[in-house]
């Protein structure tokens, strides 16, 4: 097969890139190793930044998000049971949208199929070749047959566990990472959230996040040990801890558990995000702890930068965008990394923390919920800095 841009991975990054390229008249083929059903039902992120919601609308994939998504003009920071609202409307006049990542993926897949662009599911044995040549190749098997895609460029949108980042030659990549000594136990429940907006709750028992997917579906997270076994957490124990970590700030209604799982917490970046004609975008290049709700939004930002660079290459024979791709993305990636780390270190209990650390956290939380300057800093990064 032959295409201008070969895309590995049909997550938010790969699907959004394909849509952006289609609108620019640039051909692409997406290869995905999971089934359509699997990727459309994988529960992950839930919060879309201000500019990213506008992007989904601009590329014609925002109708259901506008109809079913929930606009939020603020969040609550709970400090041992006392809620403090960060007012995005007043501070930055921007909003975030609550709309599950799997819903975004469904709409992007439907759009891709309507565009008629090739999207191959359940491929196997994907590999990349000749990435430093002008004709890099993707090889894989599909429906039992060996296949090869002859490309001008390859976009590695295959997530943290994909094959693109490991395909870089030794010595090219610099890795920057930090693992956190805890994880998040996340549940999806048929129950109303305790507040109409998110609650990030700091308590002596540990962190908890009360978010949602609709007025009747809650997405709730508990800080847990990094090597926690979900089998140790009965529904009753989860609910009990969620009640306690609200600290009496709100009443929490229980309901049917629809899904539960544990997400590890890590900060991870590779530099550069490109080698030859292979470009990494999204989780294949970076991971943030979900405390800042940045993961999916960063994936969109990377592919917006890449699509603009590819457009300039094909339309004006300009290489500067492609040459500067990494640097352009990494500025924003490090903003998001720092913000996600900062939100994580201010809200969680750490195993070897001292009484000093706890007082310092409380002082920090008190400052950001009382100082207009400090809460503006939080608000402008939370709703998402513009993609320049």
Residue 158 touches which member of ligand FAS, ligand PHB, none, C-beta under 5-8 Å by kind: ligand FAS
Contacting range for ligand PHB; rule: CB under 6 A; set: 126-134, 252-260, 287-295, 368-376: 287-295
Question: Pick the catalytic residue: 12, 194, 289, 290?
Answer: 290
Angle between helices 295-316 and 325-347 (to 10 degrees): 170
Asked if 265 interacts with ligand FAS (CB under 6 A), we say no
Which one-letter DSSP state was computed for residue 351? T
CB atoms within 10 A of CB 376: 16
Helix (H) or strand (E) holding 140: strand 137-142
Decide: is 337 part of the binding site for ligand PHB (CB under 6 A): no
Interatomic CA distance for residues 212 and 75, integer angstroms: 12
Q: Please tell me whether residue 20 binds ligand FAS under the rule CB under 6 A.
A: no
Contact, 22 vs 117, CB < 8 A? yes
Write down how long the chain is: 388
Instruction: Name residues whose C-beta falls within 8 Å of residue 266's C-beta, 6 or more positions apart in sequence.
Output: 177, 178, 179, 180, 287, 289
251 is catalytic: no
Binding residues among 43-72 for ligand PHB as defined by CB under 6 A = 45-47
| Nearer to ligand FAS (CB atom), residue 226 or residue 358 | 226
Which of 63, 89, 61 has its CA nearest to residue 75? Answer: 89
In the complex, minimum distance from the CB of residue 309 to ligand PHB, in angstroms, rounded to a whole number: 29
Does the footprint of ligand PHB cover residue 299 (CB under 6 A)? no
CA terminus-to-terminus distance, the chain: 34
Report the alpha-carbon distance of residue 107 to residue 112 in Å, rounded.
9
Q: Please confirm, yes or no, whether 294 is among the known catalytic residues.
A: yes
**Strand 274-275, strand 145-150: pairing:** unpaired
Cis peptide before 320 (omega within 30 of 0): no
What gap in Å lies between CA 362 and CA 343, rounded to an integer? Answer: 13
Q: Which two tokens stand for residue 323?
A: 């040459």
CB of 121 vs ligand FAS, minimal distance in Å: 9
**Residue 6: contacted member of ligand PHB, ligand FAS, none (CB under 5 to 8 Å, by partner type):** none
Q: Which does 163 bind (CB under 5 to 8 A by kind): ligand PHB, ligand FAS, none?
A: ligand FAS
Please tell me the count of residues contacting ligand PHB according to CB under 6 A: 9
Catalytic residue among 72, 94, 286, 348: 72
- 206 lies in the binding site for ligand FAS (CB under 6 A): no
CA-CA distances (angstroms) from residue 362 to 276, 366, 369? Answer: 47, 6, 11
Angle, vertex CA 48, rays to CA 44 and CA 53, nearest 5: 135
Binding ligand PHB by CB under 6 A: which of 5, 185, 287, 293? 293
Task: Tell me the window of 108-116, 139-147, 150-158, 289-297 that interacts with ligand PHB (CB under 6 A).
Answer: 289-297
Judged by beta carbon, residue 25 or residue 261, the one nearer ligand FAS is: 261
Residue 279: active-site member: no
Based on the residue annotation, tell me whether 72 is a catalytic residue of this protein: yes
Looking at the annotation, which residues are catalytic? 72, 200, 290, 294, 382
Residues that bind ligand PHB (CB under 6 A): 45-47, 209, 211, 219, 290-291, 293
Residues that bind ligand FAS (CB under 6 A): 8-14, 31-34, 39, 44-46, 101, 123, 126, 157-159, 162-163, 263, 282-283, 290, 293-296, 299
């Amino acid at each position: 097969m032959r295409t201008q841009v070969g895309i590995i991975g049909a997550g938010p990054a790969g699907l959004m890139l394909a849509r952006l390229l289609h609108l620019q008249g640039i051909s692409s083929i997406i290869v995905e190793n999971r089934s359509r059903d699997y990727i459309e039902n994988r529960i992950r992120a839930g919060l879309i930044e201000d500019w990213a919601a506008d992007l989904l609308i601009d590329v014609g994939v925002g109708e259901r998000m506008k109809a079913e998504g929930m606009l939020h003009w603020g969040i609550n920071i709970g400090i041992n049971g006392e809620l403090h609202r960060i007012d995005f409307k007043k501070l930055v006049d921007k909003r975030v949208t609550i709309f599950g990542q799997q819903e975004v993926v469904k709409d992007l897949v439907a759009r891709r199929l309507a565009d008629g662009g090739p999207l191959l599911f359940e491929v196997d044995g994907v590999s990349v070749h000749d990435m430093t040549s002008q004709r890099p190749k993707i090889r894989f098997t599909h429906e039992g047959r060996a296949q090869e895609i002859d490309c001008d460029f390859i976009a590695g949108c295959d997530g943290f566990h994909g094959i693109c980042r490991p395909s870089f030659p030794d010595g090219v990549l610099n890795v920057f990472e930090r693992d956190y000594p805890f994880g998040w136990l996340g549940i999806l429940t048929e129950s109303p959230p305790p507040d109409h907006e998110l609650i990030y709750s700091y308590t002596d028992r540990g962190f908890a996040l009360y978010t949602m997917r609709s007025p009747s579906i809650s997405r709730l997270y508990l800080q847990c040990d990094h090597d926690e076994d979900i089998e140790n957490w009965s529904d009753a124990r989860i609910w009990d801890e969620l009640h306690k970590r609200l600290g009496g700030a709100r009443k929490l209604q229980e309901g049917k558990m629809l899904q539960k799982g544990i997400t590890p917490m890590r900060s991870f970046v590779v530099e550069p995000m490109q080698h030859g004609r292979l470009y990494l975008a999204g989780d294949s290049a970076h991971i943030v702890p979900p405390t800042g709700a940045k993961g999916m939004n960063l994936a969109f930002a990377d592919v917006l930068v890449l699509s603009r660079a590819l457009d300039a290459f094909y339309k004006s024979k300009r290489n500067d965008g492609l040459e500067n791709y990494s640097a352009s993305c990494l500025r924003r990636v490090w903003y998001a990394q720092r913000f996600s780390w900062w939100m994580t270190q201010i809200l969680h209990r750490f195993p070897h923390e001292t009484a000093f650390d706890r007082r310092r956290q409380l002082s920090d939380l008190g400052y950001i919920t009382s100082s207009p300057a400090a809460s503006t800093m939080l608000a402008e990064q939370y709703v998402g800095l513009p993609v320049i």
